Structure 1
């Protein structure tokens, strides 16, 4: 009997159908000499500190550096404690029995680092030592699965992938557990969460927010001229700019007296705009966020659903290319797509003999190739699935079309001693832009057809006006631009000499960046404001504490991602790397334990016992004197009291006017919070 272990029940059902297994049992499907079972994600994970005997947050126990890493069944939270997940225990028992009675194991978890880790942790936890083979596929179509089963790979081929996954898992455990506990112990006012990738990502968001908030815009002025020739109206802009509006007036009056300008330079060049590459996961998430406002996590979830329904290839890819041996299948994919009404004309435009092969590159294909559609055209799918599917389908068409050829003309002209310029772009060959033009109304390409202009020509000035402009800060991060920053971490390092060290290296991976953003949202460190990601008060507080600490170092985190790849390729020793992580953990733990807590309330005294023993926590302000029970809840009628509010209340007896409080009846009202003589709080209204 052969056991096939899939990552999810839905994938197991697909494989079972193809191998002729039809009898459904508790936790597996049986038949034709096969038993197909499933993992339901991470059934087994690294043990938590309490599993090693560490209880609570204790300074003397840190850092926690296990000699060996225990594996335990997945845990869930119940009554403020973590217990083994009954569902995980039940499924592990099924897998254990099947592993012990089978003649062969086939691994069919997702073909990537995490999928490999899911299987190996189960395999190790169950103390299994039977040989296994690997089903390595990039789509769940019948053809892909059958081809994969006919070409199973030896399990040992993927030992490097497991080592990389295990190294990442241990590094995240060491850094996350120790840093979180160290900061919690130091601050002694709330439970904090820090992480190897999570905290540098928070730092990116907070730093950009602080720069944006403190930016002082400066006004400046330019002169714009309106011209017309042969019925075409166009505008030119001055090369000079003025910071004082009054100083621009003399120049504007002189120019207004002139009826024409002289063209001093005409430069025309041909630009070949290459077709875009296929989507990898990150670029798909960025595009979906820009066009539809989908979060990175939503896009990944939808893409995963489309993959499991056999409509697209494996989504957790970090490559935008395909291997040479897949190229012959592209024309048939395009023919399948052309059965959809919105693509029906593209096959006529496309000369199959001249397909653009720029997406073919064996060297740049990682674990999986770029995102492709499959030989199945979807019919009934959700609106979100429809949007993501056709985004991928459109990109497949665009990638194989010829370049778009443009003619760009730059014009320089003079009025008196003042220089002006403008440029125009005209399309010579649409190429791949023919797809974008028909399928998207979001294209930002602006095309201007100008009349024939030559050096020495005179252009009439119809109007001269002053344009007010201002300097702008870097925009707040959206999920799209944050994904770019995470993917290209070297660009976020201010020291130019260090950028080359981590060139083309990011923090996190294509498969994990969405979960990092979601973690920051769940921790209440960041929030969504329109399309932007901005830090909360809690997130800014954490940032201020750790911004100069090693835990926030984007450069170091990015270098580790490179190390994981080198471990996978057997270029770096896993245990040597682990010792480096342990040294780093000791350093960051000592850094965080040295932080002095409660700086915000050090100057405040308890209104009841008059001692300087107040502690500011996430939800309360509490006196730490053993015999004093004074406490102030920070959440009042839907509004959280800030540090300034608490300070005003304790020093002046009342807060500023708080607006938008919500009564039990759901009505909004404004009021002051006052401190009464008995040290309790109450409301005071403007009219009383």
Structure 2
């Protein structure tokens, strides 16, 4: 009998049906010579410090470097007493898997085909001390055809040793950095608990740095002159190339221009450009696009895409590639014909030239573990609103990628009044190409501005930085004279660096290597980011869960707690985004067997030792407000910590918890509550059933707190 282990029960059920292993047992299926079981995510993980006999932390005990990492069943956090104990569901399923492996001659690994999927199986295999031979199922779709093809082409388990070594090294590195850095900062902060991590902390640094730049930006007024013209029955405008900070000077120039009444054409530039069709989505690009267009978080996109994958409607979502291999190209025409059965896609597919599809997405060298996102030949019948939106995005992106390029004619005219230059810009579509698929003939976002924003340039509303609008212009030639029909002095403001949306943050994480000044290093790290496509969403969610950042409208902003952590670590190595990107490159090298994982872990230990000493050396004083006396005893000055405000007098014991219904009370909230008995209106608190509400927090006569609703 052969054992098959999947990552989730739903996938195991699909595989069991294909192999007619239909006898349902507790935790597995049996039949036809197969025994199909499943993991429940990470059933086994690296042990906690107490598993190594470490119960308390002080400066002398750090850093902690286990001689050999211990694998333990997944644990759950207990509140009383505060510790971790094995998850009963994990223990039960591990026992079932052990029995299944014991009955079988060999194992087929069918966990998700990626770094984490490999780690899930190998940690179970090692923890159970199993020695049975195993093969690997490596597929990019859960359709019956893909699974059957995958089982016909099983690969030796040893082919993925590099993938496992990279996953294991990542796991150990995160343990070393996370445990030691967290404990070191907590000790330095007088036992206030702060969580740090190898990837989450540099990501927090990105958000906080941008937030501080945005808030510290000093806006300035400036003025530009806009002119109205008419030629060949067409109305259009021109905008001054120059900006004036002195309004009176701009007004004087405006009067001189009005007196002149005419402008002369100085330069005519007409360029025909070809916009290549877009490539397929990888996970990060899908998350960015869905965040911009639909307002979905990165985690919502990942969960939705995973659901579509498990329902067999799309291929494996956790991909970092936008290409497909040559051998998959022959299946694309049939896929398009099947999609053409849907009335929704027929108009778009009608614009494609069958037999002459654009092959830009085909590149064997740029396909990583999985190819770019594709719909499968299974057409959905019933989807949720978010599933439908994500599915349509993936289908339309495929159709766009198969289309011809789009041709545009961009016109830029420079005119002059006296010695002041003005610009006229316009663009027209010569051939719609891929832009005809959805009828979107211009980008909703300005790519040039977006690039500037990500590089912290203090851009303005200058028309020169904007993509030419789709405006039909008359013909121009040098020395033509244009009548000025009206003028306008426009008051504008310089703009600060834009706060990160999730789409912007994903781009910053994905392109962290491009920030390196050294050209050789930049070239080596150009396509290396921090985190992976599969983990970036969880990193953002972790920062939110730990109350380091919050979502406000479409932007991500740091909380008081997040800013405090950033202020403590912003000059430390643990906040270094580029170093984290270098670690990611090292993990890729381990996966490709170009670097020894032991060397990587050794380097991480050296790095951990350095950051631990840096953090322990921080001198962090407890936060207090001298003018605020305890409201109960009226004797002692209140002490403010991250989670509580308390009276230091043990006899008084007055205490206020700062986290109330998902919102952390700020210093202003606390000051108002103590001095007036009432906070300002606090918005977006969350009740136990998940509903948001706004309320004041009041201090009652018995010195406890309560809500007051407006």
TM-score for the superposition, normalised by structure 1: 0.92
SS of equivalent residue, structure 1 residue 211? helix
**What is the Cα deviation at residue 619 of structure 1?**
3.0
Tell me if the contact between 2:628 and 2:671 (Cα under 8 Å) persists in the aligned partners: no
Q: Counterpart of 2:220?
A: 218
Tell me if the contact between 1:606 and 1:630 (Cα under 8 Å) persists in the aligned partners: no
Tell me if the contact between 2:190 and 2:622 (Cα under 8 Å) persists in the aligned partners: no
Q: Tell me whether 1:586 sits opposite 2:609 in the alignment.
A: yes
Distance 1:431 1:670, change over 3 A: same
CA distance in 2, matches of 1:2, 1:286: 42
**What is the Cα deviation at residue 244 of structure 1?**
0.9
Distance 1:397 1:661, change over 3 A: closer
Ranges in structure 1 where 5+ consecutive residues have no aligned partner: none
CA distance in 1, matches of 2:93, 2:695: 51
Q: Counterpart of 1:658?
A: 679
Ranges in structure 2 where 5+ consecutive residues have no aligned partner: 447-466, 688-692
Q: Counterpart of 2:12?
A: 12
Q: Counterpart of 2:429?
A: 427
**What is the Cα deviation at residue 258 of structure 1?**
2.4
CA distance in 2, matches of 1:91, 1:489: 40
Q: Counterpart of 2:65?
A: 65
Distance 1:285 1:669, change over 3 A: closer
Pick from 589, 607, 620: which aligns with 1:566?
Answer: 589
**What is the Cα deviation at residue 403 of structure 1?**
0.5
**What is the Cα deviation at residue 49 of structure 1?**
0.5
SS of equivalent residue, structure 2 residue 148? helix
Q: Counterpart of 1:375?
A: 377
CA distance in 2, matches of 1:492, 1:159: 32
Tell me if the contact between 2:349 and 2:399 (Cα under 8 Å) persists in the aligned partners: no
TM-score for the superposition, normalised by structure 2: 0.90
CA distance in 2, matches of 1:493, 1:633: 45
CA distance in 1, matches of 2:189, 2:340: 61
Pick from 251, 256, 259: which aligns with 2:258?
Answer: 256
Distance 1:159 1:497, change over 3 A: closer
How many residues are matched?
A: 674
Q: Tell me whether 1:269 sits opposite 2:271 in the alignment.
A: yes
Q: Counterpart of 2:40?
A: 40
CA distance in 2, matches of 1:636, 1:365: 46
Pick from 110, 113, 133: which aligns with 2:112?
Answer: 110
**What is the Cα deviation at residue 621 of structure 1?**
2.8
SS of equivalent residue, structure 1 residue 589? helix
Q: Counterpart of 2:353?
A: 351
SS of equivalent residue, structure 2 residue 175? helix
Q: Tell me whether 1:510 sits opposite 2:537 in the alignment.
A: no
CA distance in 2, matches of 1:96, 1:67: 27
SS of equivalent residue, structure 2 residue 3? strand
Tell me if the contact between 2:622 and 2:641 (Cα under 8 Å) persists in the aligned partners: no
SS of equivalent residue, structure 1 residue 469? strand
SS of equivalent residue, structure 2 residue 484? strand
CA distance in 2, matches of 1:16, 1:117: 23
**What is the Cα deviation at residue 471 of structure 1?**
1.0
**What is the Cα deviation at residue 398 of structure 1?**
0.4
SS of equivalent residue, structure 2 residue 131? coil
Pick from 550, 554, 577: which aligns with 1:531?
Answer: 554
**What is the Cα deviation at residue 128 of structure 1?**
0.3
Tell me if the contact between 2:314 and 2:375 (Cα under 8 Å) persists in the aligned partners: yes
Distance 1:266 1:238, change over 3 A: same
**What is the Cα deviation at residue 490 of structure 1?**
2.6
CA distance in 2, matches of 1:451, 1:599: 69
CA distance in 1, matches of 2:696, 2:56: 42
| 1:8-66 alpha-carbon deviations (Å, 9 max, x no partner) | 01111111111111111100111111111100111100000011111144333221110
Tell me if the contact between 2:107 and 2:132 (Cα under 8 Å) persists in the aligned partners: yes
SS of equivalent residue, structure 2 residue 550? strand
Distance 1:100 1:661, change over 3 A: closer
Distance 1:606 1:575, change over 3 A: farther
Q: Counterpart of 2:500?
A: 477
Q: Counterpart of 1:616?
A: 640
Distance 1:70 1:209, change over 3 A: same
1:176-187 correspondence runs (5 A)? 176-187=178-189
**What is the Cα deviation at residue 631 of structure 1?**
3.5
